[in-house]
């Protein structure tokens, strides 16, 4: 298929090419600029001044657990749930999704859905995410999050890594008293929210159990990390709360990503030692962390946070890009890089996607940024138009009519 997009503001890694064109052939970007000569059978999209940017790459989103089990105990058909979810994802502008599955220890999983606490459901979902026999609109990849107190899951995790369908592995420690849960009173309140029927004494008992739970030994973590790397998976740390932890994760476990560092100094240190410091787009929209940690927007402004993910709310990514640009004055191409090129580099897929360059796969989105909120116009995956929104066509018609008059 041949496709020409004209009259677009093309967001390149280092700037914006305004009112220009882009040519797609055989699923890849074949040319960029105003001097393009498409063939006679080439389809044409007039962007009418909309922004053309790479499709967004979300490397941390645990929404899939809610999609598969929208209410506790009600597990949907997994293949169908994924099919329906990707319709939403592509219309949020996400063309590559790393679905994040949490491998929780059962005693830590109160209130969690079955995909996080029942191995059978988790394994079935993991395999469906990377099922090569399914026709997909977007690219689906698997991100496994290992709870460091979950010693029992290690053999299963090693099997899944050996099978080669894990693209990202993160080590998370949600032990109360450190990391995201360093405030014990907030942790108690969170546990109570998940289990409102539990008495204060029971909550205190569970808290003590979690604080004293044994953790996966260092030697085993090294073994897991080495296997992940040998299979092409990126490795990440989670909720980093000390320089020592960051150095250990980087130097010993060879992590390239620091997910949600809890304070600005740790985000800056992660960046200094060559890691990608990941913040949450919902945090950008809210102006703060829901758990009392650092502001992602402030982290971007001071150079600590170098990439964004949806965390738990996929619509936030596109909005966060334009909010950072409009409210904080960050150049638009730098904001776009936070959700495209930076996560692609962090996970080793930047040779294929994440930027508008000749030869890259044509995963692209057209965005109308003329109103209060940016709105997706068209999504293109692998060179094929997979979504075009009706209100956008109407808007274009009105705009082109106004320009003609």
pLDDT at residue 309 tops 90 = yes
Determine contact, residues 107/195, Cβ cutoff 8 Å. Answer: no
* pTM greater than 0.85 (yes/no): yes
Of 13-27, 96-110, 278-292, least confident by mean pLDDT is: 96-110
| For the ranges 24-33, 174-183, 348-357, the one whose mean pLDDT is highest | 348-357
Domains of the chain (ranges, CATH numbers): 2-54+354-404 (2.30.40.10), 56-175+213-346 (3.20.20.140), 182-210 (no CATH)
For residues 139 and 119, give the distance between their C-alpha atoms in angstroms, rounded to a whole number.
24
Structure tokens at 396: 């274009």
Cα 378 to Cα 128, 357, 362, 384, 385: the distances in Å are 27, 19, 13, 10, 7
Instruction: Determine the 3-state secondary structure of 45 from DSSP.
Output: strand
State the Cα–Cα distance between residues 308 and 325, nearest whole angstrom.
Answer: 14
Number of Cβ within 10 Å of residue 208's Cβ equals 11
Let me know the angle formed at the C-alpha of 241 by 280 and 223, rounded to the nearest 5 degrees: 95
Question: Binning pLDDT at 50, 70 and 90, where does residue 317 land?
Answer: very high
Would you say residue 379 has pLDDT above 80?
A: yes
Residue 198's pLDDT band, with cuts at 50, 70 and 90, is confident
- Structure confidence at residue 105 (pLDDT): 67
Banded model confidence at residue 275, pLDDT cuts 50, 70, 90: very high
pLDDT mean over 381-404: 72
271 or 390, which is more confident = 271
For the stretch 227-265, pLDDT in tens is: 999 999 999 999 999 999 999 999 999 999 999 999 999
Tell me the pLDDT tens digit for each residue of 72-125. 788 889 999 999 999 999 999 999 999 999 887 655 555 556 565 577 778 888
Measured CA distances, 170 to 7, 91, 206, 316, 327 (Å): 41, 27, 25, 22, 32
């Amino acid at each position: 298929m041949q496709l020409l997009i004209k009259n677009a503001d093309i967001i390149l890694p280092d700037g914006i090419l305004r009112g220009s064109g882009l040519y797609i052939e055989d699923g890849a970007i074949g040319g960029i600029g105003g001097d393009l000569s498409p063939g006679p059978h080439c389809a044409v999209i007039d962007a009418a001044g909309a922004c053309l940017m790479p499709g967004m790459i979300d490397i941390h989103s645990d929404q899939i657990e809610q999609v598969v089990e929208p209410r506790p105990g009600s597990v949907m058909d997994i293949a169908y749930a994924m099919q329906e979810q990707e319709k939403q994802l592509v219309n949020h502008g996400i063309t590559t999704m790393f679905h994040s599955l949490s491998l929780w220890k059962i005693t830590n999983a109160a209130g969690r859905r079955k995909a996080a606490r029942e191995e059978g459901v988790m394994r079935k979902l993991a395999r469906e995410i990377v099922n090569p026999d399914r026709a997909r609109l977007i690219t689906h990849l698997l991100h496994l999050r290992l709870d460091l107190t979950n010693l029992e899951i290690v053999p299963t995790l090693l099997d899944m890594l050996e099978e080669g369908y894990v693209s990202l592995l993160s080590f998370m420690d949600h032990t109360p008293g450190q990391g995201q849960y360093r405030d014990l009173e907030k942790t108690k309140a969170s546990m109570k929210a998940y289990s409102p029927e539990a008495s204060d004494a029971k909550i205190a008992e569970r808290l003590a159990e979690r604080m004293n739970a044994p953790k996966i030994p260092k030697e085993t973590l090294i073994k897991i990390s080495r296997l992940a790397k040998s299979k092409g998976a990126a490795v990440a740390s989670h909720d980093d709360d000390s320089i020592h932890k960051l150095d250990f994760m980087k130097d010993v476990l060879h992590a390239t990503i620091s997910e949600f560092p809890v304070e600005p100094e740790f985000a800056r240190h992660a960046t200094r030692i060559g890691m990608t410091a990941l913040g949450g787009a919902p945090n950008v929209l809210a102006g703060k962390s829901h758990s009392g940690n650092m502001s992602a927007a402030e982290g971007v402004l001071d150079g600590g946070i170098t990439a964004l993910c949806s965390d738990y709310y996929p619509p936030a990514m596109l909005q966060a890009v334009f909010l950072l640009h409009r409210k904080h004055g960050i150049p638009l191409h730098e904001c776009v890089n936070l959700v495209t090129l930076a996560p692609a580099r962090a996970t080793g897929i930047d040779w294929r996607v994440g930027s508008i360059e000749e030869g890259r796969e044509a995963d692209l989105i057209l965005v109308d940024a003329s109103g209060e909120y940016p709105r997706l116009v068209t999504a293109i995956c692998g060179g094929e138009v997979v979504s075009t929104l009706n209100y956008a066509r109407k808007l274009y018609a009105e705009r082109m009519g106004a320009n003609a008059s």
